[in-house]
Structures are given as structure tokens and as C-alpha cells.
Structure 1
Amino acid sequence: MSARRGRPGCPQLRPARARLVRAKEPFTVRIARRISRRTVTAAVVLATVLPLSACGGGSDAGSSSDASGKIEGKITFQTWNLQANFKDYFNGVIADFEKKYPGTEVKWVDRPADGYADKISADAAGGTLPDVVNVSPDLLAPLVKAGLALDLDKSAAQYRKEYLPGAWAGDQVPGVEGTYAFPWYLNTGPLFYNKRLFKDAGLDPEKPPTTYDQVFDAGLRIAKQSGGKIATLANVPTIEDFGRYGAQLTNKAGTGFAFNDAKGVQLLTRYKELYDAKALDPQALTATPESAGHKFLTESVAMNPGSALDLGNFKKQAPNLYKNIGITDQITNTGKVNMYVMGVMVNSQSKRKPAAVAFGHFVTDATRQMAFAKQVAIFPSTAGSLDDPYFTKEDGTDETRVRIAAAKSLKNAVNYTPVQFSDQMKTALGNEVAKALQGKQSPKEALDNAVKACDRLLQQS
């Protein structure tokens, strides 16, 4: 399935009226992942150049986890390419914090999207990491292992109940006890389907598939009824699909991958069945997000993730498709959809921990997150916020229609992408999946090889 690629927050964060970012992964609208392809390199550098005194033993190594005491002093808050579009918002948040806590001062620094991971690595190595840092889970992981992220389960446990359980868990690192960042904004997305194509195949257009097996069965039927002219899916399975299908993604210690288990093999075997029947688009192995989206636009693919922007385009460019659009939840066997989470980390070696923890909580509390969500197409991670009329009440617009569908699915969503799963690992998995679909190796062989390749990359980092 398709979508435009992007990176979370930064260049792709636009005012809420503008757009939601589409996702490349099947069955989701992905929050633009700001992480550059140099993240892996930066993580390796971080692990090798940090002082030994900062390494080992989790985030509290070399520093106290105690964040009690008077909230005062000057702290530095670093964000990821947000100043251009949201300067007034963050200046207002800072002013409100300093008013609530007299004697505090927050210095806000904003870094460009390009090279952000490298900048964090350099700051960590040089001992200049800011007190409060905007991070994604995969940028957080090496900082946790280097002992530079404060364990909030020890230092800020009183705030845990304020956040969605899945969001709080999104800032945990396998093999390391604790939670290492306040959950900030989330993103996810519903699934579009073509009601006419379902009806033409004899399927109930008002009862779309909700599980993978239902998708596979519908796909085979649609392909058969159309003589192989209509596919149901346009992308090969990704790591998130294995998670939603119910496969075990990593071992319990987080030291190796495990998606070659029985569930993983079963998923890839079903995709192979789809591919052979042309129920998976023949060009799925080389599809770009744009080409896959075009397949759905021209009604040669029956299901695809999308956004409010897509609905607007359908209305203008393909009115026949638009009038037959159905919106449903992401496909999942676990009952929980995938989400993308951004976090706010507190530097474990900050000299102003009480102020840093207080500000990390302040910028991510329900009031601030709700205000931010009304400026940009993201969702708050705070408990109860998704029940606000902004996320539940229809107003007749396409944007609201998609926002409500996405918000509904987020209440029990989880982040299926392991924090250790790098772009290189995604490529390794994709290459082996392609070989299986082409019949060059069995699904079991493909996933065994993918796990071996990913484990090697994990050991190198």
C-alpha cells in the first residue's frame, strides 16, 4: 500500500488545515519520520565515542535519578525543525511555564531536520546535550544505552497515568527497565477502500475486512472476479505488518529479532498466495508511494492508506472514486493498530533535573498537546484528549472525517516498530520478502535470512 514518505514533525509538520502525512507502510498514515538515513551511523558513533563513565547500567549511570527539589534555574529545550512554523506556540508555552514557576528560565533551541541525529550524537559525546530534548524512539534508544536519558518511571512516575498506556510504552527500550521520554504527539491513519470494487466482487461494501485473513480472502475473491485486473493491496509487508499480524518481533531481551516465528511465516505465505493470484499488485516489489497511490486513484487497487489530503484530491480528480470511498481502521489481528510516537527526553545528567522534568511534563501535558493538535495534523498522547469534540464531532469536511477515524483507533494503539529497527534493517527485510514472493526461496528461508541480517546489523550498532 502506499503513501508519501516523510519525516515526523519537521519539514512535514504543516498547519492542521493543510494535510496529514501519508504512510508508506500498509494500513497506516505514517507520521513523517524525521529521522535521516544517517541515524544508524550517528547511533554507532554515539555508542563508541561517549565517555565510559556514561555507559552501562541504564539511564542513571553516572548521575542521580532523583528529580525532587525546587523547580528553578535555567534549562535548555531542543526541538526538531519546529521554529519556522510554530514559533509563537512554543514561545507561549515557555512564557506560561516561566510564569507558573518563578525563578525558571527556558532557552529554546531548534535544530534543522537534516543532520539532527548527528547533532544529538555530537552533543552527547561532548557533554553538551540539552536538558530537555525532542526525540523519536530510535534516536532515544542509543541515548538510553549510553546512560543519558532519565528514567521517568523513577523520576516522574506520578505523571504516568496522564498518558495513553501505549504511548508511555513507546519510549521504553527492550532489555532496559524504565521509560525514558514523555510521550508527545502521535500519528496514525485509517484505511481507504473502494466500495464499488468490493460490491462488484460480491462482497458487502459496508463490512470491510478487519483482520488480515479477511483481507486475504477478499483479495483473492476480488482478483478472481476481475480476472486478475484488480489487486487489493499495492505494497509488500513491512515490520509493522508482522507486528499487527501477531508475530513476535524481537526476543524478550531485545537483543535479537524473532519475526521468523510461525506467525511471521504464515503472514508471508499468505502474501505469496496473493502475489501469485495478482491480488497483490504485480508492481508491489518496486512500487513507490506515489505509484501505489496512483493505482488506488485509478481504481486498479481496492485498499490503500490515506489522508484528508487524498480525499480532497479524489473529490477533484476522481469523483467516481470519491463517491465510493469507504474509511475503516487499520487491519490488525491483535486488536491494536500501529502508531508513531514522538517524545520529550530529560537529560539524566542535567544539573536542573526538577526544572527539566517539570518542563518535559508541561510541554506534553493535556492542555499543551490539545492546543498543538489544533495547529498541526497530529494527535495528543494524553489520556482523555481523544474524547474531545475536535476528535469526535463531524463537521462535514474530509479533514475531520479522517481525523475522527484516526483518533478513534489511537486509544489502544501501539508502536510496532522496534526501536532498534533501522532503515538498513528495513531494506534487508524488504529484499528477502521480495525473494519469497518471486519464488526464489520459501517464506521460512526468507525470514530466517532477514532475521540473520538484522541481527548482524544490530550487533554492529
Structure 2
Amino acid sequence: MPTSRRALAAAAAIAVLLPLSACGSGGDDSASTDASGKIEGNITFQTWNLRANFKPYFDGLVKDFEKKYPGTHVKWIDQPGEGYADKISADAAGGTLPDVVNVSPDLVAPLAKAGLALDLDKAAPKYGKEYLPGAWASHQIPGMDGTYAFPWYLNTGPLFYNKTLFRKAGLDDSKPPKTYDALFTDALQLAKKSKGKVATLANVPTIEDFGRYGAPLMNKQGTGFAFNDAKGVELLTKYKELYDAKALDPQALTATPESTGKKFLTGAVAMNPGSALDLQKFKKDAPSLYKNIGITDQITSTGKVNMYVMGVMVNSRTKQKPAAVAFAHYVTDAQHQMEFAKKVAIFPSTAGSLDDPYFTQQDGSDETRVRIAAADSLKNAVNYTPVLFSEQMKNELRNSVAKALQGKESPKTALDNAVKACDRLLQQQG
């Protein structure tokens, strides 16, 4: 579940501009942020492709909430993963948006701009301290004040590395690179020692890499992108050096998770992101690799790794604000996030939850090794992908990076062009 949901969240974007006059299911045109009052009434709760695997969990969650708050009734709706963004967009424009909605940050942005997402900093400020700071901030919109969804579950991925390849290159296999500077140094040495046969990486830099390197991604007003500054140009220049030295896999421009996984499996690539499922595959298909697998954090020069986050938004137009806010908080509080995390490989966004023994104590299993490594890195992680960065923008950046790596444009020109294209798309969003 986490991998597919994570990929889907990254790809989803509401394509049409929602009219500011759009009205949610409640029809409360004032869209007041006042969520005080008695917790009662009927509300709808919409999730994103969760019914098939987790129906008993959510049935129990709803039942327990209704028991805790007599006089409430929650109707649970689950939508398929495909077309979810379009469904939300249509409901928002048509005034049929559910009271409580499972969202990712990129889905919140247009709803918040349209006045359809409740500002929790005004409606429920007391809850902010219950969550990890980076998670609470993940549903904030550049250029707008406020937080527009409760953070729900998190995900991230540790980095695997091949200790044998590190040793052969004369590197200390107990000290994998942690920063980009260390990564670039080690990658060039691996390529040189292997005469270009071993690349360290198999993926071109994404917007998250620019963030982890320390480049500003947007201006503070949220009106334009900024990853073409000196820091961003420096990162792409370094990647160009890796590409020319074959320290970056020659096929990185067209890489997929499947293709990079195969290259890591065969020893053509020294480092690759992965999961517990990958470890199990290595154990079965490549036992010699499995015995020499190292697990480390994502590369970052900011000290903070990237997180993927899901959220629970309250429709600002709901007629039952007290109940809707109470239920959204109930779904995402520490107790219920912990219960959900033990049913599926995700991580709670609530403060202190990652210190639970479930995320800190080894039991010798591959699943636990990966879970503990990921949980530790999430405590101060941030969502580097700007909430306004659409799939089209990702394509523009990807194409510009390719031109720079191939020598068709300088890194500076390539990033300047990418920023211009992304700014143009941003203006089209409104």
C-alpha cells in the first residue's frame, strides 16, 4: 500500500481551477472557522482507496467515534485511487464535497485557495502541538496563512547500499555518504575504481533533491519558483559531473523504480532507495547481495530527509463543524494513528509516536530493520515537494535536467527555463 499510495499522491493534482464561490456539502456560505459547540449531527468521511484492505479498521473507528459522541453519525465513503483528484475537483465545484476528506498536500492547495478547506490554525489551534512540526506544516500553502488539513500517516524510504562495491572501491562500508558532498566524492571514486562499470546512483535529481541540497524551491509569497538559484545550479552541475564520469547510470534519464531495482540487484548500481519488500527479494534472488546490504538515511545536506504525507481535511462549508473537526482529529490522533501503523507499513505523524518500541526495538527481521531506520529519519523530516508543484511541472523539471546532463544546455540555462515554465503553469493555476 505505501508505495502505490505514495506514487499516486505524488502524481495527483487537481487540474481545473475551482471557482472561489464554490460551495461544499454544507452550503454554509460564510465558511466561518468557528468549530466550537456541541459535537453532534451527520457527517460524511471520504477516504482514498482504503476500503478493500482496511474495512474492519474503519468500521470500528466510526463505531467508536459514534459511541464516544452520542448523536453523531458518520457515513464512510471510499473512492478508488484512479481519478481521485478529478472526483474531488468535481465535488468541490458542484457543492458535494464531503465534510471530512482524505487528501495529500497537492490536493489541499486548490481547495484552500477556493476557500473550501478549513483553516485549522483558526478553527482548532490547540491540536497543532500534537503533531510533528514538519507534518503539521505539510498542509500549509505558500502565500496563505493557515494550516488546511490534519496530518495523517507518513512515509519515507531508507537508502540501501552495496557494502561489497564500497569495499572494492576502497571506501569504508560502515560509513556510507550522508550528505551530497560526500555522495559526490564517493560516487566519483566508485566510478573510477570500477572503470565506469559501477554507478552509485540510477536516478536524476528531482525537486526533492533540490530541497534536500538546500536550494530554495519557491519564494515566500508562493508566487514563483526559485530552484534555479546558485545552490540549485551547483547541484545540477555536480550531477552533470557524475553523468559524464558514469557515476550516474547512463540510463538514468529513462529510469523507472523497476529498472533501478534490477541494476542494484545485479551490482551495476551501488545505492538505491528501497523497502522491506526489496530486502526479502534480495534474500531470495541475490543472497550474496543480501548479506552485504547496508541501510542508511536518505542523502541530505539540510539535516532533514523528505517525507511523504497524507492528511485529513475538513470542508469549510460543512454544517457540522464541531463534529467534522472532532472526527478529523479522532482519525489522526496518536492512538488511532498507532493502531493504523501496526496494520500497514506507514508511520504516525503524531509527536512522540515514533519513540514507541514498535519503531525502535530490533527483532532481527528485515521488516523491522527498515521500519526502525525510516522511523528514526522521520522525526524531523519535511515534505520538500511544494504543494503547488504539479505533475506538469515535474515533467518540465525532468526535461530540463535531461538537457543539462546531455550537454544540450548549461545547468543554469536548463534550470532558468524550468523555472520559467513552472511559473507559467503556476499562473495558469490562478
- Whether the 8 Å contact between 2:22 and 2:92 is mirrored in structure 1 is no
Partner of 1:6 in structure 2? none
Structure 1 residues 75-84 or 283-292, which shifts more? 283-292
- Whether the 8 Å contact between 1:258 and 1:451 is mirrored in structure 2 is yes
Alpha-carbon distance in 1 for matches of 2:319, 2:311: 21
> How has the CA–CA distance of structure 1 residues 53 and 291 changed in structure 2, closer, same or farther, with 3 Å as cutoff?
closer
Is residue 103 from structure 1 mapped to residue 75 from structure 2 by the alignment?
no
Residue type of the alignment partner of 2:7:
R
Is residue 336 from structure 1 mapped to residue 304 from structure 2 by the alignment?
yes
Q: Of residues 245, 249, 253 in structure 2, which corresponds to 1:277? A: 245
Residue type of the alignment partner of 1:434:
A
> How has the CA–CA distance of structure 1 residues 383 and 416 changed in structure 2, closer, same or farther, with 3 Å as cutoff?
same
Alpha-carbon distance in 2 for matches of 1:61, 1:218: 58
Residue type of the alignment partner of 2:379:
K
Q: Of residues 43, 49, 62 in structure 1, which corresponds to 2:15? A: 43
Partner of 1:452 in structure 2? 420
Partner of 1:292 in structure 2? 260
Residue type of the alignment partner of 2:8:
R
Is residue 225 from structure 1 mapped to residue 197 from structure 2 by the alignment?
no
Is residue 161 from structure 1 mapped to residue 135 from structure 2 by the alignment?
no
The alpha carbon displacement at 1:407 in A equals 0.3
Is residue 325 from structure 1 mapped to residue 304 from structure 2 by the alignment?
no
Alpha-carbon distance in 1 for matches of 2:191, 2:148: 47
Alpha-carbon distance in 2 for matches of 1:437, 1:455: 22
After superposition, give the CA deviation of every residue in 1:313-355 in whole Å (9 maximum; x if it has no partner): 1111111111110000010000000000000000101100000
The alpha carbon displacement at 1:43 in A equals 3.4
Secondary structure at the counterpart of residue 21 of structure 1: helix
Q: Percent of aligned pairs with the same residue?
A: 77
Q: Of residues 335, 339, 349 in structure 2, which corresponds to 1:371? A: 339
The alpha carbon displacement at 1:61 in A equals 7.7
The alpha carbon displacement at 1:52 in A equals 2.9
Structure 1's consecutive aligned runs of 4 or more residues displaced over 4 angstroms after TM superposition are none
The alpha carbon displacement at 1:170 in A equals 0.4
Unaligned residue ranges in structure 1 (runs of 5+): 1-12, 14-19, 23-30
The alpha carbon displacement at 1:33 in A equals 3.1
- Whether the 8 Å contact between 2:23 and 2:94 is mirrored in structure 1 is no
The alpha carbon displacement at 1:296 in A equals 0.4
Is residue 200 from structure 1 mapped to residue 168 from structure 2 by the alignment?
yes
Query: What are the residue-to-residue correspondences of 1:76-95 with 2, within 5 Å?
Result: 76-95=44-63
Residue type of the alignment partner of 1:81:
N
> How has the CA–CA distance of structure 1 residues 87 and 54 changed in structure 2, closer, same or farther, with 3 Å as cutoff?
closer
Alpha-carbon distance in 1 for matches of 2:128, 2:325: 13
The alpha carbon displacement at 1:396 in A equals 0.8
Residue type of the alignment partner of 1:43:
A
> How has the CA–CA distance of structure 1 residues 144 and 434 changed in structure 2, closer, same or farther, with 3 Å as cutoff?
same
> How has the CA–CA distance of structure 1 residues 51 and 305 changed in structure 2, closer, same or farther, with 3 Å as cutoff?
closer
- Whether the 8 Å contact between 1:74 and 1:106 is mirrored in structure 2 is yes
Partner of 2:376 in structure 1? 408
- Whether the 8 Å contact between 1:175 and 1:254 is mirrored in structure 2 is yes
After superposition, give the CA deviation of every residue in 1:275-315 in whole Å (9 maximum; x if it has no partner): 11110011111122211111100011110000000000111
- Whether the 8 Å contact between 1:243 and 1:416 is mirrored in structure 2 is yes
After superposition, give the CA deviation of every residue in 1:4-34 in whole Å (9 maximum; x if it has no partner): xxxxxxxxx2xxxxxx638xxxxxxxx5233
Residue type of the alignment partner of 1:214:
A
When the two chains are superposed, the root-mean-square deviation of aligned CA atoms in Å is: 1.5
Q: Of residues 188, 202, 225 in structure 1, which corresponds to 2:156? A: 188
Alpha-carbon distance in 2 for matches of 1:340, 1:405: 16
Alpha-carbon distance in 2 for matches of 1:171, 1:373: 21
Secondary structure at the counterpart of residue 315 of structure 1: helix
The alpha carbon displacement at 1:123 in A equals 1.1
Residue type of the alignment partner of 2:240:
K
Unaligned residue ranges in structure 2 (runs of 5+): none
- Whether the 8 Å contact between 1:54 and 1:62 is mirrored in structure 2 is no
After superposition, give the CA deviation of every residue in 1:186-238 in whole Å (9 maximum; x if it has no partner): 00011000111111111110011010010000000011111111110001000
The alpha carbon displacement at 1:84 in A equals 1.0
> How has the CA–CA distance of structure 1 residues 36 and 238 changed in structure 2, closer, same or farther, with 3 Å as cutoff?
closer
Alpha-carbon distance in 2 for matches of 1:34, 1:304: 20
The alpha carbon displacement at 1:36 in A equals 8.6
Alpha-carbon distance in 2 for matches of 1:421, 1:459: 12
- The structure where helix makes up a greater share of residues is 2
Alpha-carbon distance in 2 for matches of 1:212, 1:257: 22
Alpha-carbon distance in 2 for matches of 1:440, 1:33: 30
Provide TM-score, normalisation by structure 1.
0.90
Q: Of residues 414, 436, 444 in structure 1, which corresponds to 2:404? A: 436
> How has the CA–CA distance of structure 1 residues 33 and 284 changed in structure 2, closer, same or farther, with 3 Å as cutoff?
closer
Partner of 2:216 in structure 1? 248
- Whether the 8 Å contact between 2:216 and 2:226 is mirrored in structure 1 is yes
- State the number of aligned residues: 426
Alpha-carbon distance in 1 for matches of 2:360, 2:269: 29
Alpha-carbon distance in 2 for matches of 1:52, 1:352: 20
Secondary structure at the counterpart of residue 7 of structure 2: coil
Secondary structure at the counterpart of residue 69 of structure 1: coil
Provide TM-score, normalisation by structure 2.
0.97
Is residue 305 from structure 1 mapped to residue 278 from structure 2 by the alignment?
no
Residue type of the alignment partner of 2:3:
V
Secondary structure at the counterpart of residue 62 of structure 2: helix
Partner of 2:96 in structure 1? 128
After superposition, give the CA deviation of every residue in 1:420-456 in whole Å (9 maximum; x if it has no partner): 1111111110111011011111100000000011111
Is residue 52 from structure 1 mapped to residue 34 from structure 2 by the alignment?
no
After superposition, give the CA deviation of every residue in 1:168-188 in whole Å (9 maximum; x if it has no partner): 000101101000000000000
